[in-house]
Structure 1
Amino acid sequence: MKTRVLLADDQVSIRTGFRRILEAQHDLQVVGEAENGVTALAATRSLVPDVLLADIRMPEMNGLELTREVMQSTPSVHVVIVTTFDLDEYVHAALGAGACGFLLKRSRSAVLIEAVRAAAAGDSMISPEITTRLLSRFRNRPLVVHQSSELLTKREQEVARLVAEGMTNADIGAELFISAGTVKTHLAHLQKKLKVQNRVGIAAWVWGSGLMEEP
């Protein structure tokens, strides 16, 4: 069964580009498009897609308001925010509103595809560029809390380090010579063990624990 995706963006060229990227995948299907937040909300309620890709700045209702409305009316729909604007406050607001992903429009096609698949599976995906930037503060400050990495297996530590470096699942798989499915399994175990909700949480734990400093 294909993952059904709804596209919400006020630029036709963006919607067209996303449609081409997603429908080139055998497991993804674009079931509708919307040019503003109001029509996107109506389409979400009528089509009930698996994933809603929404721009953050749209006429009539922005992506953050749309996410909140979708979470209230059709919580089974997984929202991924896709935007040109690389602002920390947007990331925090989107995740706080219930979005399970936050991507930059300049992200590689592989990242977009991976984010849609992750959202459909109930996982979170944040652009590697954003993850790296949000965590840059940990690189330049002395460690205050030293958390033990002993609760993680050697492979989980390797995966966690690569997440902290901003790698995607595909990149991690290629680096460690393991499948994307295996990477996903490791991420699920990491989130459970570290009690975090997404990749940013894993990466933050890595930098805060001193794992990046270990040989």
Structure 2
Amino acid sequence: MRILLVEDDDRIADPLAEDLRHQSHAVDIAYDGVAGWEFSQAASYDVILLDWMLPKLDGIQLCQRLRQSGCQAYILLLTAKDATGDKVLGLDAGADDYLVKPFEVDELTARLRALSRRQPIYQSVVLTHGEIELNPTTHSSTYAGIPLELTAKEYMLLEYFLQHPTQVISRTSLLDKLWEFDRISGEQTIKTHLTNLRRKFKQAGCQYDLIETVYGVGYRLRDVSQSR
């Protein structure tokens, strides 16, 4: 699963994220509520692990904003508040589950498995651009109806481009948004993933580069209306 962890205490956030990554989850970390909101707008997540007491924007406010914006991710609140009234407040704000600190990672991962078995509550918006379709709910993508077999990073790159179809996206932005937890990957790794993504489009029948290089700036999706 792709997980956003919003937690201001790095003594909790960093080891928890590492544990989840060892379980093959992709994890981004935001250390305050505003950063959590920005991450949620830049990518689609399956689950958001959300601390209650956050700087800039607290967890309840962020949870409400996420639901008002149509966020489809499951939200699991992580907090030391254990009163029944606090739990009711969190669930009424839009959270799907509630876990009291301190907690064992085994219990958290069990709750993640339980959430993954639920029927999705929110309708997912299929992202399209020309012949490309990407469905965040099923984590599938096609070109001209032909399934694309993408790695996790290739999928994340394509999703990010489709969420910003008219923008030139800098290499720094790609590193910040998609390699937040692995900065040592560097620009060469981005180029490798983009090369593989372009190759898979061509294998599906695309006759031109759908992802253009804007030299000295970054990358963007090609205007398909000018490619016919």
Amino acid at match of 1:11: D
> 2:78: which partner in 1?
82
Amino acid at match of 2:5: L
- Equivalent pairs: percent with the same residue? 26
Taking structure 1 as the reference length, the TM-score comes to: 0.52
Aligned 1:1-215 pairs, distance under 5 A: 3-26=1-24, 28-30=25-27, 32-122=28-118
RMSD of aligned alpha carbons: 1.5
Distance in 2 of aligned mates of 1:17 and 1:118? 22
Would you say the 8 A contact 1:80–1:102 is kept in 2? yes
Amino acid at match of 1:22: L
Would you say the 8 A contact 1:81–1:101 is kept in 2? yes
Would you say the 8 A contact 2:17–2:29 is kept in 1? no
Q: Which runs of 5+ in 2 are unaligned?
A: 120-228
Distance in 2 of aligned mates of 1:60 and 1:102? 22
Give per-residue Cα distances to partners, 1:165-210, cap 9 Å, x unaligned. Answer: xxxxxxxxxxxxxxxxxxxxxxxxxxxxxxxxxxxxxxxxxxxxxx
Shift of 1:39: 1.0
Shift of 1:80: 0.5
Amino acid at match of 1:20: E
Would you say the 8 A contact 1:9–1:36 is kept in 2? yes
| Count of aligned pairs | 119
Q: Which runs of 5+ in 1 are unaligned?
A: 124-215
Q: Which is richer in helix? A: 1
> 1:155: which partner in 2?
none
Q: Which is richer in strand? A: 2
Bigger radius of gyration, 1 or 2?
2
Shift of 1:10: 0.8
Amino acid at match of 2:100: L
